[in-house]
Amino acid sequence: MEQPTQAGRRDFLTTAAMAGGLAAGYGTFAAMAGRYLYPAKPIEMAWLFVADLQGFKPGDSLVYRTPAGGPVAVARRGSAGTADDFLALSSTCPHLGCQVHWEAQHGRFFCPCHNGVFDPTGKAISGPPAEAGQSLLRYPLKVENGLLYIQVPVETLGRTTCPGHDRCLAGRRGGEQA
Residues lying near ligand FES in the complex (CB under 6 A): 93, 95-96, 98, 111, 113-114, 116, 127-129
**Of 39 and 97, which has the nearer Cβ to ligand FES?**
97
Nearer to ligand FES, 49 or 110 (CB): 110
Least CB distance to ligand FES at residue 129 (A): 6
Give the nearest distance from C-beta 134 to ligand FES in angstroms: 9
CB 156 within 8 A of CB 67: yes
In the bound complex, what is the minimum distance in angstroms from residue 42's beta carbon to ligand FES? 27
Q: Closer CB to ligand FES, residue 15 or residue 99?
A: 99
C-alpha to C-alpha distance for 162 and 158, rounded to whole angstroms: 8
Q: Which is nearer to ligand FES, 66 or 91 (CB)?
A: 91
Rounded distance between C-alpha atoms, residue 37 and residue 45, angstroms:
23
CB of 98 to ligand FES, least distance (A): 4
71, 99 in Cβ contact below 8 A? yes
- Dist. CA 84–CA 175, nearest whole Å: 36
Amino acid at 8: G
Distance of closest approach, residue 166 Cβ to ligand FES, in angstroms: 22
E-state strands within the chain: 45-52, 61-65, 71-76, 86-90, 101-103, 108-111, 116-118, 124-126, 141-144, 147-153, 164-165
CA distance 102 to 62: 12
Q: Which is nearer to ligand FES, 13 or 96 (CB)?
A: 96
